[in-house]
Amino acid sequence: MNKLDPRNIYDDLHQIPELGFEEFKTSAYLADKLETMGYKVTRNIGGTGVIGEIKGSEPGPVMMLRADMDALPFLIDGEKKNIHACGHDAHSAMLLAAASELVGKVKRGTLRILFQQGEETLKGALAVIDAGV
């Protein structure tokens, strides 16, 4: 598996800013990349959340790393636009690149990679918790 370059991922995600619970393209992009790397992927966690999971060959603890996916709405020159003003595109890019580095290195326990929706609305974490994560 080739390691992913966070700059390329950032460039891709920066082009598709989506509001909380509307991260359809973003979550599909991230889920597809995780699947390509060999992660077991669960989509639509609490809405548009995504979890990738790799289990080691030995029992052990579960560790989860998370990133936010959502953008914010802005009025720019009288036009409504969604932008990644808080850098969630970079946050997701760095986590996805880290996930690519961790493939094949989980020997004991379980690694979960969570891409969380709706952080800006403060409802995304609750939706993920309510979904059992």
Domain assignment present for residue 124? The answer is yes
pLDDT in tens, 68-104: 999 999 999 999 999 999 999 999 999 999 999 999 9
Residue 1 placed within a domain: no
Query: How many CB atoms sit inside 10 A of residue 16's CB?
Result: 17
Residue 1 pLDDT exceeds 70: no
- If one counts the domains in the chain, the total is 1
The confidence score (pLDDT) of residue 43 equals 98
Q: Which residues contact 92 (CB under 8 A, 6 or more apart)?
A: 9, 13, 26, 30, 67, 68, 69, 115
3 state DSSP class of 97: helix
78: CATH: 3.40.630.10
Please check whether residue 42 lies inside any domain of the structure.
yes
91 found inside a domain: yes
Phi and psi for 10 in degrees, rounded to 5?
Answer: -55, -50
Q: Is residue 125 part of a domain?
A: yes
Domain for residue 85, yes or no? Answer: yes
pLDDT attached to residue 121: 86
Which 8-state DSSP code applies to residue 17? -
For residue 58, give its domain range.
6-130
